Structure formats: structure tokens, C-alpha cells
């Protein structure tokens, strides 16, 4: 294992525990016997969870793993995902229940009931059909957090088209790469988005991305800011003109349990993002079950708020599919947490009496930085469960979250999972688990995970190694879009002999056998919970004419978890490495990938540390970036390189 940062060492010495209250335990959705029940017959357990959904045709086999690692769950079953998330609640008499309390950044609001959501999803489905979109077609969606984003996803699901949601902050280049890879037929976007009190353009970026994109036939534009937008006649359509006039009736078709539901791109260790493919029945079963047990969600009682963006998997599984399948009433907020003031989230929680709040460690640390007095001004007494996701949460932030947001009363669930796993895999169960700050603790009932050494042997309690998933699970990815080989290679080759899924995370067992996640073991950085590959940033840097070579590392950062630090060699002596050049490079990366990938720091160097075989030794660069004693340099081709680099770093060049 690589050396551990001070934050991680601190994490490993944490030993506080918090017992659930008796009152909570009594009313909890999850009971302690769930683990044994699942262990005694896993398939029967998952079949029982699948009964949470409405199936038009029941499955004949729970799991077919005969073509591993390509799984089939609930074989022969048929269902419509959108019907399960919307219509069936209306049919059961809950049409007037609010599904979405939407809060716009400038302060405008919309409450959408299940009956209204059903009408809107049907209209959007009819609109897509009118454009010739059919089952298996791909629709790219680049939208901020507006209700139409959720409606568009559900409309795709309803007609069996795959959505590929692209984060609103991604650059035209990143959008184009994803549109091309999925050969999207339709792109849905908006005129612009409100960010930090300003209206920023969106459509213009989409136009830039789509210039010459052959697969795209239509672009649907949601009007949000009212800004003027460039327009391509014959291709572009306003959402309101296209959708509003459509019939609010649409007969949902039952699709096979393994019908593809969506593609979501995530960073891998190469520059090319991976299109993670999810299917219907198993995915929805696990999204629904985990939302029910890990958040203790009670339909009709709770008000739930997951602060993720729908551009990330957390938004897919814990804003759209899990919660809506469970008849949630949820808050969806469009903007940033400090617009117009740093108490915005707490104000929303107070106004809507939010009872379940799910966010990311980077935001919790930001709230800590803004000061305890800010949440203290609001009535947060409605909160009863707090969740965390996206990266390891340090015990200080965990305890602060419980004390200052949860009044020292609420369970905090640290939920480990990935785009690839589709739904939560490792998490405490509120009402059952005595929680430990900083640990995701135990695989959920029905899930199996292990920490193993290099040879694939499980490590003893107290030991560390790699996190693997040793049994298939319903919401597992079914592959990488268009690249089965890469799917096998990335996830299943590392422990091929054992048949384990390699998650790419380091982990350790404590003496009780609880799991502590220690961050990525590959070249993927985790910046504010966003996965960005070092290669991706490196290729963005070298695409700039002044850069000859670049090496990028993730250095630990008190707020964002990791910060991007780049080391670049400039071309020739004509370019000076001054402040302006560095600024230009930072902006270049933001333009190529998106603002989230902007390096925190760029060091202009004359050499990079390389092994004799020419591999850049990122471990050493990480030492420099984290201001640590430089580790073993014996495998370097030229060991004096590191002296040069660290001297440059200290002088602040
Ligand atoms: C859901 C999501 C996945 C990677 C994963 C790991 C990190 C997520 C975590 C966590 C420690 C947690 N991660 N949750 N690490 N504790 N509770 O974030 O998906 O964007 O695909 O990222 O995030 O490194 O491998 P995704």
C-alpha cells in the first residue's frame, strides 16, 4: 500500500462509537436480523427486495451468472422503470403528494405533485416519440438542477431510450466526447443556468460541442434564464413548444429486466471516460431497497434532500430512481450552497422541514470552514438521518456533522459505492448499527465485500489492502458502453483467479472487522467527490501549445479531499513560466475538461522524475505536493531530479 496522509492516519486511530436511540431502532425500516436473512439465502433475499417494484411479468430466475462477469438479474422479468417511479403512486391514490419541492437559485420555487409529474413525464415521452426516438436510442442530457432534468430522464426510461446525463459544468469538448461515444440522437439542454447569482450560458456551449456531430438530429432547449441563444433551424426546438402541447397520456411499455436504462460516463485511469452501463430491474431493485434501509425513508412522512447534481451517479440513484420508486417527497435545489448567503441549505431545511439530508464530505468541510454559527441560526430539528457520500469522510467532519447539523442526535450514514456499483454497497444501517466516525463499516445485507492483499487473500482484522466485491449484486454495471474488453480488463482482471470485482479503492479492517475506506489506489483523483483521472488532466495540459510534458497528482486538501497539482515542462526557452503562463494553463484545463478539473497548483519544472523504463513516479511528486519528506528515489533514472523539483517548489516558483 502507498504511504498514508496524516488525515488518513488520523482516521485510523478513531475509536468513538454512537449507539442508535431505542426510539429510532423501534421504528427503523431495517432490523438487525436482515444480515442473517440475506446470508442464509442471498437470491431469495434479493427476490424479496424486487417485490418492492411492480413487475408486469415476473422473473423466472433471480440471477444468471453463467456468463460472468456479465450478469443478468431477474431473468425473464418485465417492468417499466418510469411507471414504478411515478404512475403507480398516482394509481395508489397519492397523486396529490408532492414529489418535488423545487427551489431555484434566485428564490423562485415550484411544487410538483406525483400527478403533475406523471403528466409531465408522459408529455415528454410523447415528445421524444414524436421526434422518432425509440427504445435503445441514446439521449444526451446536459441540464442543471431543474425539474425538466428529472422529467427528461424518466421520459427516456419510459420509452426504453437510454439517457446519458452529462454534468452541466462539463466543457464542450467533454460533452462532444460523450455524445460521440454514445452516438446520441437527441441532446436536451437549457438556454442557461443560474450559478452564484448570475445567469451563465449553456446552449452556446452545447452548440460549440455539437458542431459537426453526426449522430445528433435534434436539440431540445429548456428555457430557464431567458437569455438569447444561438439557434439552428430544423435542429433546435424549445422544450415548452415541443412538450407542453403533447397529450398527458402515454401507455408505458414493459421492458425486459435487462433492458439498458442509462449510460453514465466516469473517469478511468486513461484519458478516455468510461460509459458505465446500467440496466433496469436489478438496478431499480437495489436503488429502491438501499434508499429504504440506509436512509430509513418513510413515504408520506419524510422530506428528503440529496444535494448531489444529477450529472453524477448519486443524482441518478438517490434523487431520481431510488427515492421516486419509494414515493419520496424531496427537495431539489438548483444552485450553489452560498448563494445568496452561507446559510442557504439550512434555510431550505428549516422551510421544508427536511428530515433526511444526504451530502458530500467536501461540502461538510466547507460548512465547517464557514463557521458553526451559521447553521446555529436555523431550526434544524426536523432532521433525523444524515448521509455522506463521495470520498472518505474524516472523523472531525463526521463528528461536526452529527453535532452541528444533527444536534448530536441523528445517525450519520457514511455510504460507500461507485458509479459502477449503481447503488450503496457499504454503509451503516440507521437504527441498527452503532456508528463509527469515518467508517462505512459493513456491506449492506445482500452485499458482499472483502479487503484482500495483493494475492487476493482476505487480510485479518487490523489489516489493510484492496477493496473487492466478491459476489455479484443487482445494480452492478453490465459493462462499459461499446467496450467489453475494457470492462473485463478494468474491473475483473486484477483478481481474475478469484473472480473478484476490483473497486480501485484501498481499505482496511479495524479490530471489529469494520471497513474503513482509504482512497483510490489507481491514478484517479477524487476532488470534491468528483472522479478525475490524472491522465485526463495531463492530456489537457499537453494539448496546450506551450506544454511539452505534464504529470498530475492528487494531493490531500483540507476542503476538497484532494487537490490537483500539476508539474509541467514547457516547450523551449521562448516561454517563461511566470504567473501569467500558469494562469493560462489552469484556464486551458478548465476549458478542456471543465472548471472542476482546474489544477489547484501548477509547477513549472525542467525535469520529471521517471523510472528507467520511463514511467513517471507520481508517488514522489505527491510527496512534493503534500510537502512531505521525499520517499525512496532509488528507482529513478536520475535521482537529482527530485532535488531540483523540491527546491523549485519551496521557493514558490
Ligand atoms: C457514489 C460515488 C466512486 C469513488 C469510490 C471511492 C469514492 C465514494 C465513498 C468513497 C470513501 C465513501 N467514494 N463514496 N470513499 N467513503 N463513503 O461517489 O461514485 O463518482 O463513481 O466515485 O468515490 O474512491 O471508488 P463515483
State residue 498's pLDDT score.
98
Q: Any known ligand binding at 537?
A: no
Task: Please answer whether residues 117 and 99 qualify as being in contact, where contact means their C-beta atoms are separated by less than 8 angstroms.
Answer: yes
CB neighbours (10 Å) of residue 607?
15
The residue ranking higher by pLDDT, 91 or 395, is 91
| 652 pLDDT above the threshold of 70 | no
| 653 pLDDT above the threshold of 60 | no
Ligand 1 nearest-atom number relative to CA 427: 17
CB neighbours (10 Å) of residue 435?
24
Q: Any known ligand binding at 528?
A: yes
Residue nearest to atom 2 of ligand 1 (CA): 418
Can you tell me whether residue 363 is helix, strand or coil? helix
**Which of 505, 519, 530, 562 has most ligand 1 atoms within 8 Å of its beta carbon, as the pocket-test mutant?**
505
Q: How far is the CA of 442 from the centre of ligand 1 (A)?
A: 15
Ligand 1 nearest-atom number relative to CA 393: 16
Q: What's the rounded Cα separation, in Å, for the pair 381 and 403?
A: 12
State residue 425's pLDDT score.
98
pTM of the complete model: 0.89
Q: What's the rounded Cα separation, in Å, for the pair 288 and 297?
A: 10
In the numeric block, the cell 426516438 is attached to 133
Ligand 1 nearest-atom number relative to CA 520: 24
> pLDDT tens digits, residue range 421-468?
999 999 999 999 999 999 999 999 999 999 999 999 999 998 889 999
Q: Any known ligand binding at 195?
A: yes
Nearest to 621 by CA among 532, 518, 538: 538
State residue 529's pLDDT score.
85
**Which of 8, 276, 277, 391 has most ligand 1 atoms within 8 Å of its beta carbon, as the pocket-test mutant?**
391
Residue nearest to atom 11 of ligand 1 (CA): 392
Q: How far is the CA of 399 from the centre of ligand 1 (A)?
A: 20
The complex's ipTM?
A: 1.00
Q: Any known ligand binding at 176?
A: no
Q: Each residue of 181-207: b (16+ CB within 10 Å) or e? A: bbbbbbbbbbbbbbbeeebbbbbbbbb
Residue nearest to atom 3 of ligand 1 (CA): 418
Ligand 1 nearest-atom number relative to CA 440: 17
State residue 13's pLDDT score.
63
Look over the chain and give the mean of its residue pLDDT values, rounded to a whole number: 92
Instruction: Report DSSP letters for 151-171, one per residue.
Output: HHHHHHHHHTPEEEE--TT--
Average pLDDT over residues 479-506: 96
Q: What's the rounded Cα separation, in Å, for the pair 55 and 548?
A: 57
| 527 pLDDT above the threshold of 60 | yes
Q: Any known ligand binding at 359?
A: no
Q: How far is the CA of 387 from the centre of ligand 1 (A)?
A: 13
| 280 pLDDT above the threshold of 80 | yes
Q: Each residue of 366-378: b (16+ CB within 10 Å) or e? A: bbbeeeeebbeeb
Q: How far is the CA of 415 from the centre of ligand 1 (A)?
A: 8
DSSP 292: H
> pLDDT tens digits, residue range 24-64?
999 999 999 999 999 999 999 999 999 999 999 999 999 99
Residue 160's pLDDT band (cuts 50, 70, 90): very high
Q: Which of 11-15, 211-215, 263-267 shows the lowest per-residue confidence on average (mean pLDDT)?
A: 11-15
> pLDDT tens digits, residue range 571-620?
866 567 788 989 999 999 999 889 999 999 998 988 888 766 566 778 88
Nearest to 446 by CA among 312, 282, 326: 282
> pLDDT tens digits, residue range 281-340?
999 999 999 999 999 999 999 999 999 999 999 999 999 999 999 999 999 999 999 999
In the numeric block, the cell 422479468 is attached to 77
Residues with CB under 6 A from ligand 1: 266, 312-314, 389-392, 414-419, 440, 503-505, 517, 520, 526, 529, 531
Q: Any known ligand binding at 641?
A: no
Q: How far is the CA of 555 from the centre of ligand 1 (A)?
A: 17
Q: Any known ligand binding at 582?
A: no
Q: 256 - beta bridge partners?
A: 78
For a pLDDT cut of 90, what percent of the chain falls above it? 77
Contact partners, residue 34, CB within 8 Å, separation at least 6:
293, 429, 432, 445
Task: Please answer whether residues 280 and 111 qualify as being in contact, where contact means their C-beta atoms are separated by less than 8 angstroms.
Answer: no
State residue 4's pLDDT score.
45
DSSP 290: H
Q: Any known ligand binding at 301?
A: no
Average pLDDT over residues 627-645: 75
Amino acid at each position: 500500500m502507498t504511504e498514508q496522509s496524516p488525515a488518513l492516519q488520523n482516521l485510523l486511530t478513531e475509536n468513538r462509537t454512537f449507539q442508535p436511540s431505542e426510539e429510532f431502532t423501534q421504528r427503523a425500516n431495517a432490523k438487525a436480523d436482515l444480515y442473517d436473512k440475506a446470508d442464509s439465502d442471498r437470491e431469495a433475499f434479493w427476490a424479496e427486495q424486487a417485490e418492492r417494484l411492480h413487475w408486469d411479468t415476473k422473473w423466472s430466475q433471480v440471477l444468471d451468472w453463467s456468463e460472468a462477469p456479465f450478469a443478468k438479474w431477474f431473468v425473464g422479468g418485465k417492468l417499466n422503470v418510469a411507471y414504478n417511479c411515478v404512475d403507480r403512486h398516482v394509481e395508489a391514490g397519492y397523486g396529490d403528494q408532492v414529489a418535488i419541492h423545487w427551489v431555484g437559485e434566485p428564490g423562485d420555487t415550484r411544487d410538483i405533485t406525483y400527478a403533475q409529474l406523471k403528466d409531465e413525464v408522459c408529455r415528454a415521452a410523447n415528445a421524444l416519440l414524436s421526434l422518432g426516438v425509440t427504445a435503445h436510442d441514446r439521449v444526451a442530457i446536459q441540464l442543471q438542477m431543474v425539474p425538466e432534468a428529472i422529467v427528461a430522464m424518466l421520459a427516456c426510461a419510459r420509452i426504453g431510450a437510454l439517457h446519458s446525463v452529462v454534468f452541466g459544468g462539463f466543457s464542450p469538448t467533454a460533452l462532444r466526447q460523450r455524445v460521440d461515444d454514445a452516438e446520441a440522437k437527441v441532446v436536451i439542454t437549457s438556454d442557461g443556468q443560474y450559478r452564484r447569482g448570475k445567469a451563465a450560458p449553456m446552449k452556446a456551449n452545447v452548440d460549440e460541442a455539437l458542431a459537426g456531430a453526426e449522430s445528433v438530429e435534434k436539440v431540445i432547449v429548456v428555457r430557464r434564464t431567458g437569455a438569447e441563444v444561438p439557434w439552428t433551424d430544423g435542429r433546435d426546438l424549445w422544450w415548452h413548444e415541443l412538450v407542453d402541447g403533447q397529450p398527458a397520456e402515454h401507455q408505458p411499455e414493459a421492458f425486459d429486466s435487462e433492458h439498458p436504462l442509462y449510460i453514465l460516463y466516469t473517469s478511468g485511469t486513461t484519458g478516455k471516460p468510461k460509459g458505465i452501463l446500467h440496466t433496469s430491474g436489478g438496478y431499480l431493485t437495489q436503488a429502491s431497497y438501499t434508499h429504504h434501509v440506509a436512509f430509513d425513508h418513510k413515504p408520506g412522512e419524510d422530506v428528503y434532500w440529496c444535494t448531489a447534481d444529477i450529472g453524477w451517479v448519486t443524482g441518478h440513484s438517490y434523487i431520481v430512481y431510488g427515492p421516486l420508486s419509494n414515493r419520496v417527497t424531496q427537495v431539489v435545489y438548483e444552485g450553489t450552497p452560498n448563494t445568496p448567503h452561507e446559510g442557504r441549505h439550512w434555510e431550505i431545511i428549516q422551510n421544508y422541514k427536511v428530515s433526511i439530508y444526504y451530502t458530500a464530505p467536501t461540502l461538510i468541510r466547507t460548512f465547517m470552514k464557514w463557521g458553526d454559527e451559521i447553521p446555529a441560526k436555523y431550526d434544524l430539528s426536523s432532521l433525523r438521518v444524515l448521509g455522506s457520500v463521495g470520498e472518505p469522510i474524516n472523523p472531525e467532519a463526521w463528528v461536526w456533522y452529527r453535532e452541528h447539523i444533527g444536534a448530536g442526535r441523528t445517525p450519520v450514514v457514511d455510504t460507500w459505492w461507485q458509479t459502477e456499483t449503481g447503488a450503496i454497497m457499504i454503509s451503516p444501517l440507521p437504527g441498527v448499527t452503532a456508528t463509527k466516525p469515518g467508517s462505512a463499516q459493513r456491506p449492506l445485507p445482500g452485499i458482499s465485500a472483502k479487503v484482500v492483499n495483493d494475492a487476493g487473500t482476505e487480510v485479518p482484522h487490523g489489516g489493510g489492502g484492496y477493496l473487492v466485491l466478491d459476489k455479484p449484486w443487482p445494480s452492478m454495471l453490465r459493462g462499459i458502453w461499446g467496450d467489453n474488453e475494457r470492462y473485463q480488463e478494468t474491473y475483473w482482471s486484477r483478481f481474475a483467479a478469484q473472480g473478484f470485482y476490483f473497486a480501485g479503492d484501498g481499505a482496511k479492517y479495524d479490530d471489529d472487522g469494520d471497513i474503513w475506506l482509504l482512497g483510490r489506489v489507481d491514478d484517479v483523483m477524487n476532488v470534491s467527490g468528483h472522479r478525475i483521472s490524472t491522465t485526463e488532466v495531463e492530456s489537457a495540459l499537453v494539448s496546450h501549445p506551450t506544454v511539452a510534458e505534464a504529470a498530475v497528482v492528487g494531493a490531500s486538501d483540507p476542503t476538497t479531499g484532494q487537490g490537483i497539482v500539476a508539474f509541467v515542462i514547457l516547450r523551449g526557452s521562448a516561454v517563461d513560466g511566470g504567473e501569467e503562463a500558469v494562469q493560462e494553463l489552469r484556464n486551458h484545463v478548465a476549458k478542456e475538461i471543465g472548471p472542476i478539473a482546474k489544477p489547484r497548483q501548477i509547477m513549472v519544472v525542467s525535469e520529471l522524475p521517471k523510472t528507467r523504463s520511463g514511467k513517471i513516479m507520481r508517488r514522489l511528486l505527491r510527496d512534493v505536493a503534500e510537502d512531505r519528506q521525499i520517499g525512496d528515489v532509488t528507482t529513478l533514472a536520475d535521482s537529482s531530479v527530485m532535488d531540483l523539483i523540491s527546491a523549485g517548489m519551496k521557493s514558490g516558483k
